[in-house]
Structure 1
């Protein structure tokens, strides 16, 4: 007697990640007592199903809804519609509130107005090859966000140089200086060869919570921010003390002093008594000076890539950074960015159940029915 074979009909198709994501977004809308956009609430829509399920469970027992919460849900909804990854561990309503700002770092104009206005605040991905994840999100004006280069930082930097030289017009009505600032923002979150990164002028300081993937730009920002408050000469002297004192260390210290000597006059020309936003602009504009850039490049070239990383690490350890600074390992700096999939959601195949085959009877053995 032989065992009866089983006919199995297994669904091994890929599960649509957007269905699960949409359901969760709808659920979280209900959890905070909010209603998703009407066009996404159809009976067969995953987001609508999640909202109705959440509403049935939570009823009126919902969580408080803040402006950051509503913006967070709107960002998640937009990412879902675009098929992009949204990393939920670090990108929370609290994180969205932290990256909020009163002025666009590119246009320097106050943010506000209607949602479709040029000055409306927009949370943008600075790295177009990454999903919605902490480290490369910044709040810009809509006009600046629309001008982000989808081809990435290196293309943006080349384009900024051509705009500055008058070879091509600026996009979206931006001024050449604004094109530079936008390109520099994108360069922060894109790994660049050392020889290229050291030549990028710091036309804009990194916004809050933006990670600088290039160590030379991290050192550039750290040193620039020393000038933001009184006592900068003492702090920079402490940085200089971290440089090697043996030959050719003295040359590096001299190069460092020449850089400081080129930067300081730009600060003195601007005067004193500025508020924090104005001081940031003064520091950024100092990097428009050719001599500042030339002295900076000479200093970091003499220091070398390994020397830059070491100096940045030691300065951060000594608490010499003007702001709270965290040093991330390269892999951790882009954790959750989904760079392998260009930031897009990837379908995961459903796991088919496994069945063990019935044992074959040994020759001469009796088979029990």
Structure 2
């Protein structure tokens, strides 16, 4: 059981107020919801010590919870300061611009839900720039994918940037129906904890291991027994060789993920997958997950997403809007 199952929005507000007093230096704000002020005042009355300075990850965690609370959005128990450390990246995976912190400008790091119909949960989050977060807004995966297929930029994002955003959103958007997920070139690094499709798992493994011949061969030794046929094994070898050569063709400093934008790579990937039987694909998917250290996501594990209420607290209306300084 998780906190989303057992705690309502009022109790979440009280806990947040307590943490705001205990973990950061911010003074009480008149625009905070009553439950947050109540928790803050209770912590102050207990004479709990306050930190000498703020930690940016703690501050981001508190801001995320407060922003979610005033909009009625649920926050799962696995959204922690440690999670924000794991999600932290130096560059926005969509625009590839360096991320900043605390400037209140478009390049500031921002935590966003990838499936807008889900709550704040570890498997549904990514670190993006504030500008990309704002442009994405409430757009669905299908809308983002459609924008990636236009010839011209939309809302200042180029088609390839929309494609990178679609890649990030793909797994979370199809968490309950992975069989409906389209095959996309893995042209962006996936968040450390987000849901990903089985095909993305394979693409990621190939991208990070197929460069050196030795690690490529180790990966093949792990995946080949799952293929189930000589034809599928031959196509996997061709795919691994294609990724190996494609990585060598990248320009100096070019991200490895761009390999999947090269002509022929996606064709080779899909030719291999089409050679697998349903049973062989299931075995391959499981094997890829084991090699990557991942695990299947069950409906029970998706419960903190609150999909039935589109990510909102059950039977709760958003509280009065508030913001930290």
Which TM-score band applies after superposition, normalised by the shorter structure? Answer: 0.7 to 0.9
Q: CA deviation at 1:222?
A: 2.3
Please name the residue that 1:93 is paired with: 81
1:124 aligned counterpart, secondary structure: strand
Q: Check if 1:122 corresponds to 2:95.
A: no
Q: Check 1:226–1:105 CA distance in 2 against 1; reply closer, same or farther (3 A cut).
A: same
* Structure 2 counterpart of 1:158, from 146, 159, 175: 146
Q: Check 1:288–1:315 CA distance in 2 against 1; reply closer, same or farther (3 A cut).
A: closer
Please name the residue that 1:204 is paired with: 188
How far, CA to CA, are the matches of 1:114 and 1:68 in structure 2? 11
* Structure 2 counterpart of 1:170, from 153, 168, 175: 153
How far, CA to CA, are the matches of 2:233 and 2:185 in structure 1? 21
Q: Check if 1:252 corresponds to 2:243.
A: no
Please name the residue that 2:58 is paired with: 69
Q: Check 1:141–1:307 CA distance in 2 against 1; reply closer, same or farther (3 A cut).
A: same
Q: Check if 1:331 corresponds to 2:299.
A: yes
1:86 aligned counterpart, secondary structure: coil
Structure 2 matches for 1:195-344, cutoff 5 A?
Answer: 197=181, 199-212=183-196, 214-227=197-210, 231-244=214-227, 249-270=229-250, 278=253, 281-282=255-256, 284-317=257-290, 320-321=291-292, 325-344=293-312
* TM-score, normalised relative to structure 1: 0.75
Please name the residue that 2:14 is paired with: 23
- Structure possessing the higher radius of gyration over alpha carbons: 1
Contact 1:18–1:80 (Cα < 8 Å) also in 2 = yes
Q: Check if 1:347 corresponds to 2:320.
A: no
Higher helix residue share: 2
Contact 2:211–2:247 (Cα < 8 Å) also in 1 = no
Contact 2:13–2:35 (Cα < 8 Å) also in 1 = yes
For the aligned residues, what is the CA RMSD?
A: 2.7
- Relative contact order (alpha carbons < 8 A, sep ≥ 6): 1 or 2 greater? 2
Contact 1:198–1:297 (Cα < 8 Å) also in 2 = no
Q: CA deviation at 1:296?
A: 0.6
Q: Deviations over 1:83-123 (max 9, x none)?
A: 10011x21111111111111111111110155431211111
Q: CA deviation at 1:200?
A: 1.4
Stretches of structure 2 lacking an aligned partner (at least 5 in a row):
1-6, 317-325
Stretches of structure 1 lacking an aligned partner (at least 5 in a row):
1-15, 349-369
How far, CA to CA, are the matches of 2:182 and 2:277 in structure 1? 10
Structure 2 matches for 1:5-24, cutoff 5 A?
Answer: 17-24=8-15
Q: Check 1:190–1:330 CA distance in 2 against 1; reply closer, same or farther (3 A cut).
A: farther
* TM-score, normalised relative to structure 2: 0.85
Please name the residue that 1:54 is paired with: 43
How far, CA to CA, are the matches of 1:285 and 1:136 in structure 2? 24
Q: Check 1:131–1:103 CA distance in 2 against 1; reply closer, same or farther (3 A cut).
A: same
